[in-house]
């Protein structure tokens, strides 16, 4: 895709393009806190969406932990639609806005496979803080309201 | 991920691993038939799912057309769960089975963003026919029942 011009609709989120590496920490009322190493990539193919992939691994062993893949659609007036597949059996539709160097989205729907954990809602914030990319993710499950789950920070690696 | 052992749960779908290139044809009652070039990749990271990415492009110009990303989960007794994000604003949960060198799944749910087309159902079949990988995809939309949409064939390229 090198050489493909950026779709003008993507200008507000061009700050995300590239590969980002960093570390994060996870928590939830039902689990023991944990840390992870993470890589996030945002690429494009000339259309009005960013292509998003992410993977995390254990800091000590390098063992794969989580991964996600999806698309961040820019649909006008700062509105964004984030469509994400998760290998733990979720298909997430999140909606929100880009405002300056910050994106906030909340789940409009979470599709779940029969064997997936009962996640009911996710909210995500992603922002550029000087040259550091940061995100926070809150999660709610059946019987457990939306609560802080993940927080990570990144530096651009290409 | 090179060197990571295949999760034993993936043995029934190991025939999909690798990069596949081919061509396909699309149709639907509401559109003009079209052809496309396609690349599909199935990889793994040692866990009990395949990592799936796909992209199509115009045969003449090489312009990107469609893309998808997701995960094919093997959940026991030949059952599969296919979680797929599509940049046209869909998040698909499809369920089915692997039987020999053939996988059939049907949508259990389709999450849609507010700006997505009103797709209501998708069924997918994917099978290895000698050394040719083939798929067929049927689609239903509001006001248009499930009908033949995409058909393609591939050879392994790595």
Structure tokens at A55: 């993977």
Beta bridge partners of B128: B133
Residue B141 has pLDDT above 50, yes or no: yes
Q: Shortest CA distance to A81 belongs to which of B86, B56, B67?
A: B86
B33 CB neighbour count, 10 Å cutoff: 8
pLDDT bin (cut points 50, 70, 90) of residue B3 is low
- Give the DSSP H or E segment for A92: strand A90-99
Q: Which of A71, A82, A105 to mutate to test the interface with B (most CBs of B within 10 A)?
A: A71
Minimum Cα–Cα distance from A108: chain B residue:
B113
- Chain A residues whose CB is inside 8 A of the B114 CB are 75, 81, 95, 108
Cβ atoms A140, A110 nearer than 8 A = no
A84-to-A81, B71, B107 alpha-carbon distances in Å: 10, 11, 16
A39, β-bridge pairs: A21, A55
Non-local CB neighbours of B103 within 8 Å, separated by 6+ positions: B13, B72, B80, B96, B97, B124, B125, B126, B127
Per residue in A95-132, pLDDT (tens digit) is 999 999 999 999 999 999 999 999 999 999 999 999 99
- Tens of pLDDT, residue by residue over B53-73, are 999 999 999 999 999 999 999
- What pLDDT is attached to residue A4? 86
Angle at Cα B23 formed by Cα B18 and Cα B26, nearest 5°? Answer: 125
Question: In terms of CA atoms, which chain A residue is nearest residue B110?
Answer: A111
- Torsion, Cα A31 A143 A120 A97, to 10 degrees, reads -80
Interface test with A, best of B3, B9, B84, B87 (most A CBs within 10 A): B87
CA distances from residue B93 to A17, A115, B64 in whole angstroms, order as listed: 28, 12, 24
Contact by Cβ (8 Å): A94, A124:
yes
CB contact set of A66 (below 8 Å; sequence gap of 6+): A36, A54, A55, A56, A86, A87, A88
The number of beta carbons lying within 10 Å of the beta carbon of residue B31 is: 9
Check CB contact under 8 Å for A81 and B90.
no
| Interface predicted TM-score (ipTM) | 0.94
CATH number of B8-94+101-156: 2.40.128.20
- Whether B113 sits inside 8 A of A75 (CB atoms) is yes
Question: Does B29 have pLDDT greater than 50?
Answer: yes
Q: How far is CA A18 from CA A53, A65, B46, in A?
A: 11, 22, 26
Subunit contact B83:A87, Cβ cutoff 8 A: yes
Distance of residue A4 Cα from the nearest chain B Cα, in angstroms: 10
Q: How far apart are CA A72 and CA A95, in angstroms?
A: 10
């Amino acid at each position: 895709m090198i050489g493909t011009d950026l779709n003008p609709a993507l200008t507000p989120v061009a700050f995300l393009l590239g590969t980002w590496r960093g570390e994060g920490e996870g928590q939830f009322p039902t689990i023991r806190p944990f840390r992870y190493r993470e890589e996030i990539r945002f690429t494009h193919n000339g259309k009005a969406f960013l292509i998003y992939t992410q993977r995390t691994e254990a800091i000590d062993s390098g063992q794969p932990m989580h991964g996600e893949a999806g698309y961040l659609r820019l649909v006008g007036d700062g509105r964004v639609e984030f469509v994400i597949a998760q290998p733990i059996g979720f298909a997430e539709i999140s909606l929100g806005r880009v405002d300056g160097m910050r994106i906030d989205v909340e789940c409009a729907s979470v599709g779940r496979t029969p064997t997936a954990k009962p996640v009911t809602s996710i909210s995500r914030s992603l922002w550029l803080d000087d040259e550091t990319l940061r995100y926070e993710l809150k999660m709610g499950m059946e019987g457990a309201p939306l609560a802080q789950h993940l927080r990570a920070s990144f530096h651009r690696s290409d």
